Structure 1
């Protein structure tokens, strides 16, 4: 079991954090997504720690980190604030930021809002906010694939996510997206994290606090003006690692990305959505080719 350090942040939450590498090495912070934890990176941390200071938190709402009670406590700006407060608490100024899934969504927002802190950006199967919202209006296949977000926003879901309900959630919302069998100690670790008091509600609150609009199939809601207006570029060198078998985030998420990210490298790898889990060697190799 990974040793974690409990860190109290100026944002009012406490996070469990995996720390590795030398403190005087270049810093890299790794942000997991839903429904995981720092364990997302378990096969990647050892490689990075050879020549980096590695920081991999359990983000707010996950595992045994703090779980504030209100939906608005999980708004994206609160999560970005946690990231910067964590860097501050560890005395880290400028750093490389890596994010998968929801962690990648936070990473996009942090890079856009705080170029003074984030020097380089690595995104693993997480859509750019403009590309994603645009695709939910313009691409019927992506809209259909994203209907799970509406399901996750239903608070009636929470009461069934205990005991056998967690087993079903594991099978239908996680394990089916993993190539190969997942069980034993790995399954036990996830069920333990999800069984922490308030964990499932807190994790799902990330979806409920998000402002992303997910129209129903065939619906024609008012189109947000920002979808067709100028959008600020991501100024950092950015590596996007994309698992090509992702059934939730389709290849449309890579279309037009170069116009929004001028210094962009894309590496496609053979994996589904949970790329760091399924093909960690390819993720580590892509980062090393990009000189991390």
Structure 2
């Protein structure tokens, strides 16, 4: 692990060396504090969690938010299969090892949450608690895609991101630029889009959608879990969100954020943070 300069006031940039390559990350909080790893969603980056990072640090926790594979320039493999969720699960373990962390708490949003559910199911001796935001357990999503027409319709609205050569279609860039709620500041959207403009980055981001068809076998999560979901989520409906409970065998709570969409960590930063801190304090 190597530290570099401060990126804005109290947030420090890290470079985390792993067998897959070197991940970029942002971090804050005392190194002796309770360890919390936060996984961002698509098409964002670790800085999505800036509000939560600072609040965790203020409560004495050590918080690290990596840019996931494809978003970190040092871990940007070619080929769709490299973006299957099982690789992201291994990345979670490798990043924790790079940090020197044994047990830690895991937080994820969107694809970061999907990876988080799987990581907590496979590594309950390493992961103390899971806080998942917006995306349910992959098993719940897989069942809904087979049986729920409304969920299939919502998910199919992302098909343009899975299309071959979508990264070369000007419509893709336009949709990415316009698809943000007003609560996400324009300068932050610009920052996300600038990262996607790096060589190979947009293809990598789209490969997360192409690589995962949710047809595999899944395990339930035994660690304490809180699932935070916005009732106006465009891509995950209420039935699918509620069904995540069937995939949790440990202490579990489902929290609904009124009038909030899919980008809850930024749309409702305060409420998301409150649930995260409450979950950590309870376990």
Question: TM-score when scaled to structure 2?
Answer: 0.89
**Pair 1:285–1:197, CA change in 2 (3 A):** same
Q: Which one of the candidate residues 258, 263, 266 is aligned to 1:274? A: 263
1:273 counterpart SS class: coil
Determine which of 270, 274, 279 is the counterpart of 1:285.
274
**1:239 and 1:61 mapped to 2: Cα distance?**
27
Q: Does 1:33 align with 2:20?
A: no
Q: 1:44 to 1:134 in 2, by over 3 A?
A: same
**Cα deviation digits, residues 46-69 of structure 1 (max 9, x gap):** 000121111100001015342111
1:166 aligns with 2:173: yes
Contact between 1:62 and 1:203, CA under 8 Å: does it hold in 2?
yes
Q: Do the aligned partners of 2:145 and 2:151 also contact (CA within 8 Å) in 1?
A: yes
Aligned residues: 269
Which of 207, 210, 224 is 1:237 aligned to? 224
Please point out which of 223, 234, 247 is paired with 1:260: 247
Map of 1:9 onto structure 2? 18
**What stretches of structure 2 of length at least 5 have no aligned partner?**
1-6
Q: Cα offset for 1:143? A: 0.5
Shift of 1:179: 4.3
Q: Using the alignment, how far apart are the partners of 1:165 and 1:241 within structure 2?
A: 28
Deviation at 1:165? 5.5
Cα distance, 1:232–1:81 mapped onto 2, change above 3 Å: closer
How does 1:79-94 map onto structure 2 within 5 Å? Answer: 79-94=88-103
Aligned equivalents of 2:172, 2:242: Cα separation in 1: 37
Larger Rg: 1
Alignment of 1:159-198 (within 5 A): 159-160=168-169, 166-171=173-178, 174-175=179-180, 178-180=181-183, 182-183=185-186, 185-198=187-200
Aligned to 1:116: 125
Provide the C-alpha distance between the structure 1 equivalents of 2:109 and 2:194, rounded to a whole number of angstroms: 21
> Over the residues paired in the alignment, what is the CA RMSD in angstroms?
1.9
Task: Identify unmatched segments of 5+ residues in structure 1.
Answer: 214-223
- Counterpart secondary structure, 1:290: helix
Greater strand content = 2
8 Å contact 1:101–1:126 — kept in the other structure? yes
- Which 10-residue stretch deviates more, 73-82 or 93-102? 73-82
Asked if structure 1 preserves the Cα contact closer than 8 Å seen for 2:160 and 2:172, the reply is no
1:132-147 map, 5 Å: 132-147=141-156
TM-score by length of structure 1 reads: 0.86
Tell me, in whole angstroms, the C-alpha distance in 2 between the residues paired with 1:78 and 1:243: 27
Q: Classify 1:212/1:151 alpha carbon distance in 2 versus 1 (closer, same or farther; 3 Å).
A: farther
User: 1:19 touches 1:53 (CA, 8 Å); kept in 2?
Assistant: yes
Aligned partners of 2:184 and 2:123: how far apart in 1? 40
Q: Which runs of 4+ in 1 moved over 3 A?
A: 179-182
**Distance in 1 of aligned mates of 2:219 and 2:45:** 30
